[in-house]
Structure 1
Amino acid sequence: MVHYIIDWSLRNRFIVLFLSLGLFIWGVFAVKKNPIDAIPDLSENQVIVFTEWMGRSPQLVEDQLTYPMVTNLQGLPRVKYVRANSMFGMSFIYIIFEDDVDIYWARERVLERLSTLNNTLPQGVTPTLGPDGTGVGHVLWYTLAAPDMDLGEQRAIQDWYVKFALQNVSGVSEIASFGGFQKQYQVTIDPNKLLYYKLSVAQVIQAIRSNNNESGGRKFEMSDIGYIIKTSGYLASMQDIEQLPVGNQQGNPITVSDIGTVQMTGEPRLGIFDQNGEGERVGGIVVMRYGENAAAVTENVKAKMKEVAKGLPKGVTFDIVYDRGELIKESVSSIKHTLIEEMVVVSLIVILFLFHWRSALSIIIQIPVTIAISFILLNAFDISSNIMSLTGIALAIGVIVDNGIIMSENAYKHLAERYHSTHQASTEA
């Protein structure tokens, strides 16, 4: 069979050359299309369900949130196993699907099953799905350099301006904010005054919640002009909260300021983010979606940052802490240098030992053609270009070169023997 292929190739060398050229052109397009990353994605095919129930102990979260959800989610199709973790005020469930399952199909199945759990969970608790990203999807970290701005204002800029702008970049699953203070109004109630006015904490909460709202009325016409009635009741300052009526005593309103104090503060934090020992910083983590090109996503995010920076307050700039794109460039550059060095060394060895430039040329041509064809196979099996796959290609080139040298030397030897026998026969004749 091998002899037949070699014989056919020699008799139809132009067809072989055109096929090789076609495969090389196809491979060049495959190289441009293949997603590039620095590290291989070996994470499991999973969907994360996050549920928050603040103020509850881990045991209570386990009994009323984690256990009923885990038992309900275990019957999903094509699920390998379900993991769970309960902590103070939070529940995490990891549904691991089979490797060949489409991640968005899996997320739909999880959402369908979660919709049947509303009656079994505590009131006000809503499970949410985690981002559609992998465990190695953190492609870029950044912070806001704002030396003259407090951490609360920096976090507000991050949450209400930067985050929304960067989430619109193609391939970005989530912008996870970290650091700083999340501003909130805090009402501190005096229990003695509650007892004096015969009020409860639930009444105070209900009064604040019901008065922080807007509602619409009907439309009416007067003098051929249409008017729309609405009430504006959103709370805008601490004074608005202090003046809210909670109850009355002998016809006199009891306001929030009569039973406690209102102040602007930050949400309780579980940690801080310090950069290079220079103090706290506020920033975000860019999480990439499944199957996206990490190099393209990081470049698009950095381009978007330049646009977003124009709208930042004076003195506020982006400081990129971690950039996967730089690691990708270094990896690809290292492989390129390796390939060039191998081609040069192979050419010198062949010319040195065979003194035949055509043999060297035939071996050198094999290297780019083989690399191009390998990227066609990478795309066919949905494998990204990373350190592992590119290193494998570089190592395989050595085998290809060895085969080329052996075949060239063997052909050179047989041709020399044939030439020698023919020359000897002609001499004897």
Structure 2
Amino acid sequence: MRNLFIRRPVFSAVISIVIVLLGLFSVTRLAVESYPPLTPPEIQVQAVYPGATAQDVADAVAAPIEQQLSGMEGLLYFKSANSSDGVMNLSVYFDVSRNPDLAAVDVQNQIARAQPQLPQEVVRNGIVVQKRQTAFLVVLALSSDDPRYDTEYLNNYAKIYIDDELKRLPGVGDASTFGQLDFSMLLSLDPDHMAQLGLTVSDVAAAVQEQNATNPAGRIGREPAPPGTQLTIPVITSGRLKEASDFERIIVRGRPDGSLVHLSDIGEARLGARNYDLAGRFDGAPTALTPVFLRPGANALQVKREVVTRMTELAKNFPPGVRWSIAFDTTPYVTASINEVVKTLFEALLLVTLVVFVFLQSWRATLIPVVAVPVSITGAFFGMQVLGFSVNLLTLFGLVLAIGIVVDDAIVVIENVERIMAEDRVPPAVAADRAMRQVSRALISIVLVLCSVFIPVAFLGGITGLMYKQFAITIAVSVVLSGIVALTLTPALCAVLLRPVPEGATAVAESGPVAKAFNRFFGRFNRGFRAVTERYLGAAGRVIDRPRTFFAAFAVAVALLLVLVRSVPTGFIPSEDKGYFGMLVELPDNASRQRTEAVVKQVEGFLLKQPAINHVVSLVGLNFIQNANQTNAAIMFVMLKPWDDRTTPRDQFATVLGGVNGFLFQLQQTRGFAFNLPEIIGLGTTAGLELNLQDRGVNDITRFAGLTGEFAGDANALPELRGVYPTIRVNTPQLFVQVDREKVKALGISLSELFQTLQASLSTLYINDFNRYGKTYRVQAEAQSRFRQTPEDIGRLYVRGPNQQMVPVSALTRTEFRAGPSVITRFNGFTSSLVVGAPAPGKSSGEMLAAVERLAQDKYASRGVGYAYSGQSYQERASGGQGGLVFALGLVMVFLVLAAQYESWTIPFAVLLGVPFGTLGALFGVWLRGMANDVYVQIGLIVVVGLAAKNAILIVEFANELRAQGRSIREAALEAGRERLRPILMTSFAFILGVTPLLTSSGAGAASRHSIGTGVFFGMLVATLVGVFFIPLFFVAIRSLSERGLVRPGAQGAIPQPTPVAVEGD
């Protein structure tokens, strides 16, 4: 088969061309995103209990539902936020492998089981269960300078004419305009007039339900009909009302004198909004905001283009003066980070080519790997499409490292062909044939070993397992294709392109000053390399001759490795400058939305004056951290200018973030902080600490809140943390209405009537629906605003007694101010407090989590306070053992493959004993640069294991052949080292220089590139410079033990005899 590809170079070329074409076809069809879908499926449940307090919602709504959730398949955790506006937001998180649709069905079924325990008002308002889309793409802003088009109008225009259009675009997961400004027919009632007329809220609700209804009548002439019936005519009656004037004409009651009481006599109807507690702002002006989410697996850049195209079409029909813009955009980071990696890809290819040229010293020889590498890299895109991967940072990192790996196979073949041509003085075709007989087995071993390292990680679970999979399988595909190219195209190109160099001839045969300069350089390089080789042989011989000394040195290296494993801090994913960050602003408890918006305007003014900031998006009335609606809170998203426009130190991400936090700290009666968003959108709320302290025995929310505050203070005093912030607040002023139930019942008044009056007057009462613009909206009753401004207004409400007399609520109740929580959060069924924070400068997230755990266990566990992680912190702790498992699995698989390849249980140890040097170098480099042992470093360790084993295989394989030919074990080891030193150094330095751009890169995604580049650079540097001296020693020791009978022959197995070397003319 080897001769076939050398004899038929066109056939060999066609194989590679087909691989390239398949890759080019696939790359245009792959999704482009920063990360593959990694976020755990999240199912959101929302229920509304109008007028209820946070404690009411937690006890009556959240607790019954949460009791049914435990035990669901793939459940990770659940948490709820129960706010004083009567809303429960429950988030249920599942393992990343769980089907989101099936998870939503499971949650729906569990809620159905809890439904009999829920208040009827909650059930009537509807319990919404939906899959939450977490892949944030863009936020669109709809605005106008025309006063006719206020925020309420713009929000509803977007909901009616834009949202559904965007949802229908391919790749869009969801698009819903922010806020609850949906149209609503608001019936604003005057309690004084109602009391004078003896009317209650129930009377109004009954009248509306009766007169605002769909009343189907039927058809004239419907079958069965008399013979000769010619027509069937539908009968239409008045149905749902449409205009505010129609609702004002609703008859509430008839008087004894025959006159009628209309709704307009006791209030007014107007077309308003369902809820005014939330507001959107863009660059300091009110606006309608529409977040657009990406469907899993969709191409982020393509979907954005589709959104822009569709919005441009829709804008042609906008009312005059209404315009749209992109307020917040995550795709610049995707584009910039991927462009940076692609740039690194080409830089790596250039540096690899340079190293190959220096070693091979021939443009013809250099051309062969330069052709072979793109075939493997381009073909990998076809494998990515078949496996359902996307073009993302992980797969591109895999391709960057693959450049330095796949070039190895071509170099091994070329170097061997040139050596045989020089030593045996044979033509290129014959040399290629002989070379393939010598190195084919090694090439196959290298491919199998590398695949055995990379492929098993595809079977790991969780988020880190998916990250390993995307990276490792991409490299594995490239390695397999590289092996195919090395066995087919490379020998054919060697036979066609290479030319014998006559003895004494210069490396570059052309004349001229450039050629002379190259010849001088190559002459010096070759003389230097020969000297290095001789010194290497002498040093390797001394290492072999002093086994005790150097095995002791090896033991010291292993001990240092264990020390580094324990001392290098751990992490999850490096925190990046993504070109945007988030902010939370909180005012004192019970601050109104108007007051909050005034502070937000002040913050916006400061932000928009900063030279590094481009846009500011504000969501007033939303506490993003707790996922709850609060009028005293606002979340803000800040877009920075492009990375190329932020070159000065003051415009760097950390500096901008610090300046914003400094400004927030100076604000009076305002608490706020700016924070980096998670690296994987949807994986929690912040890129730092997410700790949920749980009440597991305190049983008093006020005392529990005090303990969480104490915990935050202790945590801030630790050197590993900064900015620790508890979210629980239990001192919110609340007006407690104590109902005298005995008096109420003694007067024959219905308690439900009393509470319904309070709800309708101080909140809203959902009565039924009406239709407008082809949509369905709510009809809601409420008291006019002047009747709900002070506590005394409660006493001005009335309920009706059994004798039709109106009784003031003040006669049935008493009021007093109390302190209580505005939001109650629960985590896994326990009352909880979310604690957020960040690692201190110079500290890793792993050190931060370890410090928090020590504090929680040592000081607070005995006081009834438990803890649990969520978001990115949860994933980091869940992935804690994955790195070691991957490393161990890689070693085991390498051992098994080599054992099968060599039919020996001992020879693989000669290969594996060189791996610790690479691991030691990788962790030493990470420690030296003050970095953390994160997922990217662990991914790099997989590569180091494979490449360190590859280097050892080149020596051990050839030494085995020489030993089988009768050479002594020592002589075979040293000769193998001499013959393989050049290809080992060439391939290793090609890889090392190929990953150098990862260490020195800047711009978007630089932290991730530094993390993965540092490990593989230092790992391969140490594995190469130290390993080449120890591999001969390990071979001599293992082979000697085997041949002395210290290992049973049956277990040892036979070393396969090498294929006879062909002579010229075979």
State the TM bucket, normalised to the shorter chain.
0.7 to 0.9
| Per-residue deviation, 1:57 | 1.6
How far apart are the structure 1 equivalents of 2:321 and 2:203? 45
- Superposition pairs of residues 112-127 of structure 1, within 5 angstroms: 112-123=109-120, 124-127=124-127
- Superposition pairs of residues 333-344 of structure 1, within 5 angstroms: 333-344=339-350
**Cα distance change on mapping 1:177 and 1:80 into 2, 3 Å:** same
How far apart are the structure 1 equivalents of 2:50 and 2:191? 22
**Cα distance change on mapping 1:6 and 1:48 into 2, 3 Å:** farther
**Match 2:101 to one of 96, 101, 104:** 104
How far apart are the structure 1 equivalents of 2:306 and 2:102? 27
Aligned AA (1:52) = V
SS at match of 2:319: coil
**Cα distance change on mapping 1:55 and 1:406 into 2, 3 Å:** farther
| Per-residue deviation, 1:8 | 8.9
**Match 1:84 to one of 80, 84, 93:** 80
**Which residue does the alignment assign to 2:943?**
none
How far apart are the structure 2 equivalents of 1:257 and 1:164? 36
How many percent of aligned residue pairs carry the same amino acid? 24
TM-superposition CA deviations, 1:52-77 (whole Å, max 9, x none):
33322222222222222222232333
How far apart are the structure 2 equivalents of 1:83 and 1:19? 55
**Which residue does the alignment assign to 1:427?**
none
Q: TM-score, normalised by structure 2?
A: 0.36
Contact preservation (8 Å) 2:180, 2:275: no
SS at match of 1:188: strand
TM-superposition CA deviations, 1:349-403 (whole Å, max 9, x none):
4345533123222211233222234334444554432234323422332344466
**Which residue does the alignment assign to 1:245?**
251
Pairing 1:65–2:61 present: yes
**Cα distance change on mapping 1:106 and 1:183 into 2, 3 Å:** closer
SS at match of 1:231: coil
- Superposition pairs of residues 9-408 of structure 1, within 5 angstroms: 17-88=13-84, 89-123=86-120, 124-131=124-131, 133=133, 135=134, 137-148=135-146, 149-178=149-178, 181-221=181-221, 224-250=230-256, 251-277=258-284, 279-379=285-385, 382-401=388-407, 404-405=410-411, 408=414
Structure 2 unaligned residues grouped into runs of 5+: 223-228, 427-500, 504-1066
**Cα distance change on mapping 1:350 and 1:153 into 2, 3 Å:** same
Report the structure, 1 or 2, having the larger helix content.
Answer: 2
How far apart are the structure 2 equivalents of 1:11 and 1:111? 67
Aligned AA (2:81) = N
**Cα distance change on mapping 1:418 and 1:295 into 2, 3 Å:** same
Contact preservation (8 Å) 1:146, 1:316: yes
**Cα distance change on mapping 1:221 and 1:380 into 2, 3 Å:** closer
Aligned AA (1:233) = G
SS at match of 1:110: helix
Contact preservation (8 Å) 1:180, 1:281: no
Aligned AA (1:163) = D
TM-superposition CA deviations, 1:132-159 (whole Å, max 9, x none):
52x2x12121111322122222122101
Count matched residues.
Answer: 416
SS at match of 1:274: strand
TM-superposition CA deviations, 1:295-343 (whole Å, max 9, x none):
2322222222222222222232321123444444434433333333333
How far apart are the structure 1 equivalents of 2:412 and 2:287? 61
Structure 1 unaligned residues grouped into runs of 5+: 425-429
**Cα distance change on mapping 1:423 and 1:249 into 2, 3 Å:** closer
Deviates more, 1:405-414 or 1:352-361: 405-414
How far apart are the structure 2 equivalents of 1:327 and 1:407? 41
Aligned AA (1:107) = A
Aligned AA (2:400) = A
Deviates more, 1:21-30 or 1:120-129: 21-30
Contact preservation (8 Å) 1:175, 1:284: yes
SS at match of 2:28: helix
| Per-residue deviation, 1:16 | 5.4
SS at match of 1:339: helix
SS at match of 1:417: helix
**Cα distance change on mapping 1:11 and 1:77 into 2, 3 Å:** farther
SS at match of 2:279: coil
How far apart are the structure 2 equivalents of 1:212 and 1:248? 18
How far apart are the structure 1 equivalents of 2:301 and 2:156? 29
How far apart are the structure 2 equivalents of 1:237 and 1:412? 90
How far apart are the structure 2 equivalents of 1:264 and 1:323? 34
Contact preservation (8 Å) 2:37, 2:296: no
How far apart are the structure 1 equivalents of 2:383 and 2:140? 36
**Cα distance change on mapping 1:160 and 1:85 into 2, 3 Å:** same
Identify which of structures 1 and 2 has the higher relative contact order when contacts are C-alpha pairs closer than 8 Å and 6+ apart.
Answer: 1
How far apart are the structure 1 equivalents of 2:19 and 2:89? 48
| Per-residue deviation, 1:214 | 2.4
Aligned AA (2:64) = P
When the two chains are superposed, the root-mean-square deviation of aligned CA atoms in Å is 3.3
| Per-residue deviation, 1:217 | 0.5
Aligned AA (1:177) = T
Report the structure, 1 or 2, having the larger strand content.
Answer: 1
Deviates more, 1:154-163 or 1:32-41: 32-41
Contact preservation (8 Å) 2:177, 2:291: yes
How far apart are the structure 1 equivalents of 2:48 and 2:11? 65
| Per-residue deviation, 1:161 | 0.8
How far apart are the structure 2 equivalents of 1:79 and 1:263? 46
**Cα distance change on mapping 1:77 and 1:297 into 2, 3 Å:** same
Contact preservation (8 Å) 1:176, 1:287: no
How far apart are the structure 2 equivalents of 1:210 and 1:419? 105
Contact preservation (8 Å) 1:154, 1:180: no
Deviates more, 1:237-246 or 1:174-183: 174-183
Contact preservation (8 Å) 1:132, 1:290: no
Q: TM-score, normalised by structure 1?
A: 0.84
